[in-house]
Structure 1
Amino acid sequence: MMDESLTTRRNGVAPPNIRVDVDGSVAVITIDAPAKLNAMGRTFWPEMREALAALEADGRTRAVIVTGAGDKAFSAGGDIAGFAQLESTQARRDFQRDCMRTFAAVEECGLPVIAAVNGYAMGGGCELTLACDVVIAAENAVFGMPESAVGLVPGFGVLRAPSVIGRHWTKLMMFAGERVDAETALRIGLVQKVVPAAELMEAARALGERIAAHAPLAIAAGKGLVNRGVDRGEFDHSTAALTALQSSADVAEGIRAFTEKRPPVFQGR
């Protein structure tokens, strides 16, 4: 039986974007906005960092699973309509830094983090899988980085995807918004296991328990060594590029077109 939610226990009220449950040595972080295909709202980023820090400090958690509520989506990505609320260059820069800090927190967490992808993993959802240590996908999972459709690029994805799936697949997904199904994701290295949708959480939990049975110091050291080549300085370049893009007329048009459900008309400015 699941322990009560860490976030509920901490605040008395569950936060709006994630839910955290602990069962023995394995914790499950659920992106909990199924009505919006588990879009990552503005509160998602600090909530995820807080949840990971709490789990790492609790002395009993040995593995973390990240998944999405419901059976349609892991996460459809960032809340695009909310981007329009970023009215100044500083606000846009702060938002990009907030996102990057969260992806870094997943990468740098001393605990192994498993993505259990149950449906769509688009935009920031796909980027989150790139930050995780192992990805298990349901057969109906779909991955994509479609940010160029609203005038943006996947700020973290362009940094990490080339080392995972190669430059050409990254460019195809980024330039054309190419969607990748679970079997293709497995073939190109974006996913390590594909299972029937009904077996996804069972498979993720079984893997989490296998990892949890091993020496935690060795797991943490091994993760750190594998990730040693990650250059955090890249984040500054990505933040600057995304801040500039979010200030462009094309992004304003892309967001308007998205909310109005029509094709955008980009002017290249």
Structure 2
Amino acid sequence: MHAVARGQRRWSNLSLAHRDGGVGIVRIDAPGKRNAMGRQFWPELRSVLDELESDGKTRVVVVTGAGDEAFSAGGDIASFAELTDLAAKRAFQRDCMRTFAAVEESPLPILAAVNGWALGGGCELAMACDVVFASERAVFGMPEAAVGLVPGFGVLRGPSVVGRQWTKLMVFAAERVDAQTALRIGLVQKVVPHADLLPATLRVAQQIAENAPLAVATGKELVNRGVDRGEFDHSTDALTVLQSTQDTAEGIRAFLDKRPPRFQGR
């Protein structure tokens, strides 16, 4: 029998449902925008994780996308255009990094159930999770170079998850990979039929929830002990500089205008 969902709550970018057995389901909840991550997404996810970590009941978290099309198509590009000064750009990058760190450092195991497009920040969030399940329809990619940026977290974690060369291919060429390729290169641990994605993820979540929570938390901490947080500052500095270039401004304008960008290398 599958656990029963209880008490769904909604924020501007997220929704949360609890299931009997200690599993919390967090949905990226903006299906009209392919679950794009608005600026409120990042502090909201941290707040939800804080709540789940302190409620004394949750043993495992499952993160998925609302609807049937996307896990998340990445950051809401329109919101980038609102970052007009250097301080705001730096603060935004720090906010994103704090959220990825919160996922990695949470004592709770966090499973991603990728139900469709996982691009940009969506792909990076999957990398930050502990185990990734993917629908056979899932597609992963880091296309930030098309708007003059790089995936600040993906360039740090990609080499350890999928290897240096695959990271370069995905970052330089915005190469998209299907679910089976993602499985082969280590970005995904299990690929399942689309209709079975959430049930399959919840079955494993329940297995984890039945194990000793302190042992699971310690195991996660020890596996992640080599993660270098100092890299986050370097990435934030580099992304802040990139966000201030003419090419990034052109890339964002072109995206919003739905035309090819004209990059000048400055």
- TM superposition score normalised by structure 2: 0.98
CA distance in 1, matches of 2:215, 2:53: 15
CA distance in 2, matches of 1:3, 1:43: 24
- Which residue number corresponds to residue 191 of structure 1? 188
Aligned partner of 1:38 among 35, 38, 45: 35
- Which residue number corresponds to residue 207 of structure 1? 204
CA distance in 1, matches of 2:239, 2:12: 26
Pairwise CA distance, 1:3: 1.3
Partner amino acid, structure 1, of 2:248: V
Deviation readout 1:58-80 (Å, 9 max, x if unpaired): 11111000000011000000001
1:169 maps onto 2:166 in alignment: yes
- Which residue number corresponds to residue 11 of structure 1? none
The runs of 5 or more residues in structure 2 that have no matched partner are none
Would you identify which runs of 4 or more consecutive aligned residues in structure 1 move more than 6 Å?
A: none
- Which residue number corresponds to residue 142 of structure 1? 139
Deviation readout 1:126-182 (Å, 9 max, x if unpaired): 000000000000000000000000000000000001001000000000000000000
- Which residue number corresponds to residue 23 of structure 1? 19
- Which residue number corresponds to residue 51 of structure 1? 48
Pairwise CA distance, 1:2: 1.4
- Which residue number corresponds to residue 66 of structure 1? 63
Count of residue pairs the alignment pairs up: 262
Aligned partner of 1:2 among 5, 9, 21: 5
- Which residue number corresponds to residue 99 of structure 1? 96
CA distance in 2, matches of 1:223, 1:161: 19
Pairwise CA distance, 1:81: 1.2
CA distance in 1, matches of 2:19, 2:126: 22
CA distance in 1, matches of 2:182, 2:226: 23
* SS at structure 1 position matched to 2:262: coil
* SS at structure 2 position matched to 1:4: strand
CA distance in 2, matches of 1:15, 1:126: 22
Partner amino acid, structure 2, of 1:19: S
Aligned partner of 1:131 among 125, 128, 143: 128
CA distance in 1, matches of 2:11, 2:174: 32
* SS at structure 1 position matched to 2:44: helix
Partner amino acid, structure 2, of 1:50: S
* SS at structure 2 position matched to 1:3: strand
Task: Report the RMSD for the aligned CA atoms in angstroms.
Answer: 0.5
The runs of 5 or more residues in structure 1 that have no matched partner are 9-13
